[in-house]
Amino acid sequence: MNAHYVDRFADDLGPEKIVHIYEPKAGLKAIVVIDNLSMGPAVGGCRMASDVSTREVFRLARAMTLKNALSDLPHGGAKSAILEDPAVTNKEDIVRAFAQAIKHLPDYIPGPDMGTDETCMAYIHDEIGRAVGLPHVLGGLPLDELGATGYGLAVAADVASEVIALPLKNARVIIQGFGNVGKAAAHFLTERGATIIATCDRSGAIHDPGGISIPELTEFKKSGQALKHSRLGKVITHDEMLQLESDIFIPSARPDVFTLDNQDWLKTKLVLEGANIPITHEAAELMRVRGIVIIPDVIANSGGVICAATEYQGMSENQAFERIELTISRNTEEVLDRILKQGQFPHAAAIKMAKERLKEAMAFRAHM
């Protein structure tokens, strides 16, 4: 890999490695970015999608570096992507081939992400003895089954609702993406009295201003059918959903949902970034000027990696949830103070918080 290519990504934090994997016999194409190891071996999700770029994987790895530092975890940041449709028939073979391909990267500990789950992590662990988010039967804390990321989003909502005087009871919530994160967030927020008025999957979105029944939608999702066939709300397009008025908006799917081109669509009071990098920094700054409060991804959705790190340290489920609540509450309070009282923009505030902790750790590394 030539220096010019790496320079397009490199800064004072990383990345340490960008690895492209191609194994034609297994039909495997993948990208691994190990961004920064100053806090310890890197933990980061392995997603499976056919349209992920190297730049996107780097941005996701950087988000993990910042997120792990903010969460006071003894781990650096990394991310990987298997370039394949997650519905592929030979998924196990491809995941196992990926595991063998990263065997020589001992500083990277993969976890579940979009398109992968605890079963995939079990395959990787079986091959190389290194993965988090494992099934219960293997002594793991399955992040998706427990809803760790969604629980963390609800904790961030608890804190933010107090600070900005936005009661969660009867709050109108839109969840962009009803996957593992969105589904769990919906569950924990409806427990707090919120009303989910719209959500979506890849096929389209559904909307009911009176509230979508989350237990019914969760049960329907088990059928594998598209949400638009659920009859639990009016079928609308993704773009129409992004323009609906709400009190809380939770992007919990792909990156760059909102950019400079469409940021003015968002009509809400509070954003909890359930996905990684769902709003560009430039768009978020304009939203802040419009009075929208954003809890950045590196804080709001850190419940999953906190749970993963707790598993890696051999701790219990209860300890994981206690750690999630304590960490996300503290970080949400601090970032809101920086945004509302000090006038900082949301992502800049979170990045500054993380870099303060990273720089301290990096000072102890001789090669930094």
Known catalytic membership, residue 355: no
Alpha-helix runs per DSSP H in the chain: 3-7, 54-70, 91-101, 118-128, 143-146, 148-163, 180-191, 214-221, 238-242, 281-289, 297-300, 303-312, 317-340, 346-362
Using a CB cutoff of 8 Å and minimum separation of 24, what contacts does 144-147 make?
Answer: 144/112, 144/117, 144/118, 144/180, 144/184, 145/118, 146/307, 146/317, 146/320, 147/180, 147/183, 147/184, 147/187, 147/188
Q: Whats the size of the chain, residue-wise?
A: 368
Cβ atoms of 320 and 141 closer than 8 Å: yes
Rounded distance between C-alpha atoms, residue 226 and residue 201, angstroms: 7
Q: For residue 88, how far is the Cα from the chain centroid?
A: 23
Q: Which two tokens stand for residue 136?
A: 């219960």
Cβ atoms of 38 and 64 closer than 8 Å: no
Considering the candidates 79, 91, 183, 269, report the single residue annotated as catalytic: 79
Indicate the burial class of 289 (C-beta count within 10 angstroms; 0-12, 13-18, 19 or more): exposed
Give the count of alpha carbons within 13 A of 190, CB side only. 19
Main-chain phi, psi angles of 193, to 5 degrees: 95, 0
Could you give the residue numbers annotated as active site?
A: 79
